[in-house]
Each structure stands twice: as C-alpha cells, then as structure tokens.
Amino acid sequence: MLDIDLKTLITDLKSYLGVTRKHQIADVVSAFPRLTDQLAEMEILADFGEDAAVLLISEDNDNVLLLAADGIMGSLMNSNPYWAGYCSVLVNLHDIAAMGGRPLALVDILSVKEIEVLAKVTTGMNDACSKFGVPIVGGHIHPDSRFNAVDVAVLGTAMRKGVIYSHTAEVGDRVIFAMDLDGCVHPDSLYSWDTTQHKSADGVRKQLLVMSELGSQRLVHSGKDISNPGTLGTLGMLLETSKKGAEIDLEKMPYPGDDVVNFTQWLKMYQGCGFVVTCKPENSADVIDKFRSVGLSSAVAGEITDERKLMIRYNDRQDVLFDFEHENITGIN
C-alpha cells in the first residue's frame, strides 16, 4: 500500500511548475477581444479554455474545424532537442484528439541559434509525424535567433455533434482516467511518460483516435488530454471551466506501481497517451472498454460534484486540492 501524506502531496502538486505556469493564461486571454459576432461566415463554437478552438464554417456542414497551438519548454529544448521536436508534434496531436477530433496537418515556427540543434529538432518532429501519419505542411524559421525554440500549430476536424468539450461536465458524472501504463520515464525529462517511441504506428494511431469514437457515440460529457499540469492538474482545469468540483479516490487511479515510478511523480507526468473524461454512470463500462481496446488502462476514480472543490481521498482521509471559489489554475471559468 502506498504511504501518502495528503497535506504534503497537496502542497507539492499546487506548487508544481506544470500547474503554476498556467496562472498567467487569464491575463493573456483578457488582452484579446472576443470577435465571434464580427465573423459573418464563421461561427466560433468554442475558444479559450478548451484544448482546441472549434470553428463552424457553415450551418449546413456536419463537421467542424479544430485549431490549436503549443510550444515546448526551453529547458527541454536545451536538454534534448530531438525529444523537444518529437513532443512538439505529440502535444498538438493530443489537443485535437482530446476534442474528439482527427488531426489533419501541422505548421511550425522554429527559432534557431545553433545549426546542429535545427537538425535534431526537425528529426524529432519528422519521426513523430511519420509515426502518427500527420504531415507538417509549412511554417516559419528564424535562423538568426539568440535562442532555440519550437512552436507548432495544428488543424483538425471533428463531427459537430461529436466534439468533446472540457466545460461540459455534469454533476453526477463519473470521472474516468485513462493512461497507457506500458511506458517509461524519459531519461531527459523526469515528467515525461514515454509510451509512443517503442510502439508501432498502427498502435499509437488507434490510441490517438479513441476519443473520436467516444465523441461520435456520445459516450462522454467532457474530457481533456493529460498534459503539462499532470493528471489532477488537468482535471482541475476541466473542473474550472465547467464550474464544477469532483471527489477523487487516489487508490482507484491507474498507476504502473511504485517500483516503476514514484506516485507523486506519476501524478505530475505528461502522459504519452492519457485522458480524463466524465460520463454518465451507465456509460462507464462502455467508456472503459473503448480505452481498453486500444491498450489504455482506465478506471472510474471519482465523481463530479456541484461544490467547486477538487477533493482527493486516500483510505479514510480526504482534503481539498483546489478550491475554485478562492483560487484558480488558469483563471478561465
């Protein structure tokens, strides 16, 4: 049995860089006016607060466009440019997947100080694109930069009725975490759980599209991919935008074991393929079966509540991780 001190765990997770780096999002969002009413030929169904913006081209179209962008932390770019390039593709594809979509193509912006870094980062990007079958179709390069950086944007598509949002969790929903436990801690990134480099292209592509199946069959109410803030930080962002709370039993979460990775470290991991979704209780078994069919371990670990707090429980102890009445992660709600 794990030896977990909830107070220590909560302090550790709340101060984790993957969470604290999200605090400035609200400041950025407030700088941009909402232009939805000014766009006569395009309707914006969702924008800030989701993993991807959702754009409806016309009312007589059953499909929508998904648009997202992400950048890679400078520390990873400096320690392993190849892995930074690989992850720049991976994180963007997962943003589209999390919305129930299928990625179509990517564009990139490269800032390069050393030419050898350019070769490593582009090799990583190309390897990821080849494995997942999604091309880079353009972009921009700064060949005379004072630093090395990679940023990528992705375009995807989804069925309009199959889009999975993060602001639509409902009270009484079950919270399901799904992760690929067949992975390892990346040697150059303690908080990267690598599950894709050693897998076949067919396998990782099926995992990437499992959310599209869940969305098209209307099995889930909301969802996100488990990203930089870690498992509970990602759930926290979903709750924040949904204006809801949740109670989570830590013992029920998928976990490869403390002989593989420390539990606190596991909760902070960027998952090579991982999602958190909410659904009606009667849909839980079908959702878990869908995840299992593509090699993802999943379990119901909690429930959505109307009290805006993320409560975590271990054995007979329970405490508040985030109280959204008094604090925030992104500030978007």
pLDDT at 239: 97
Q: Measuring CA to CA, which residue among 228, 240, 226, 313 is closest to residue 276?
A: 226
Taking a C-beta distance cutoff of 8 angstroms, is the pair 247, 301 a contact?
no
Is the confidence at residue 182, as pLDDT, over 60?
A: yes
Q: Quick one: 184 exposed, middle or buried, by C-beta within 10 A (0-12, 13-18, 19+)? A: middle
pLDDT band at 168 (very low <50, low <70, confident <90, very high): very high
Higher pLDDT, 262 or 21: 262
pLDDT at 17: 85
pLDDT band at 320 (very low <50, low <70, confident <90, very high): very high
Taking a C-beta distance cutoff of 8 angstroms, is the pair 23, 329 a contact?
yes
Domains and CATH numbers, the chain: 6-22+164-323 (3.90.650.10), 34-161 (3.30.1330.10)
pLDDT at 195: 96
Overall average pLDDT of the 190-208 stretch: 95
Higher pLDDT, 254 or 39: 254
Higher pLDDT, 84 or 21: 84
pLDDT band at 34 (very low <50, low <70, confident <90, very high): low
What confidence tens digit (pLDDT) does each residue in 218-251 have?
999 999 999 999 999 999 999 999 999 999 999 9
Looking at residue 68, its amino acid is A
What confidence tens digit (pLDDT) does each residue in 42-72 have?
688 888 889 999 998 877 788 999 999 999 9
CA–CA separation, 214 and 106 (whole Å): 24
What confidence tens digit (pLDDT) does each residue in 111-139 have?
999 889 999 999 999 999 999 999 999 99
Is the confidence at residue 40, as pLDDT, over 50?
A: no
Q: Measuring CA to CA, which residue among 262, 260, 232 is closest to residue 322?
A: 232
pLDDT band at 3 (very low <50, low <70, confident <90, very high): confident
Is the confidence at residue 184, as pLDDT, over 80?
A: yes
Is the confidence at residue 35, as pLDDT, over 80?
A: no
CA–CA separation, 287 and 306 (whole Å): 23
Overall average pLDDT of the 69-79 stretch: 90
pLDDT at 41: 53
Taking a C-beta distance cutoff of 8 angstroms, is the pair 20, 13 a contact?
no
HEC letters along the chain: CCCCCHHHHHHHHHCCHHHHCCCCHHHHHCCCCCCHHHCCCCEEEECCCCCCEEEECCCCCCEEEEEEEEECCHHHHHHCHHHHHHHHHHHHHHHHHHCCCEEEEEEEEEECCCHHHHHHHHHHHHHHHHHHCCCEEEEEEECCCCCCEEEEEEEEEEEHHHCCCCCCCCCCCEEEEEECCCCEEECCEEEEEECCCCCCHHHHHHHHCHHHHHHHCCCCCEEEECCCCHHHHHHHHHHHHHCCEEEEEHHHCCCCCCCCCCHHHHHHCEECCEEEEEECHHHHHHHHHHHHHCCCEEEEEEEEECCCEEEEEECCEEEEEEECCCCCCCCCC
Looking at residue 27, its amino acid is D
Buried b (16+ CB within 10 A) or exposed e, 294-325: bbbbbbbbbbbbeebbbbbbbeeeeeebbebe
Is the confidence at residue 37, as pLDDT, over 50?
A: no
What mean pLDDT value characterizes the chain?
Answer: 92
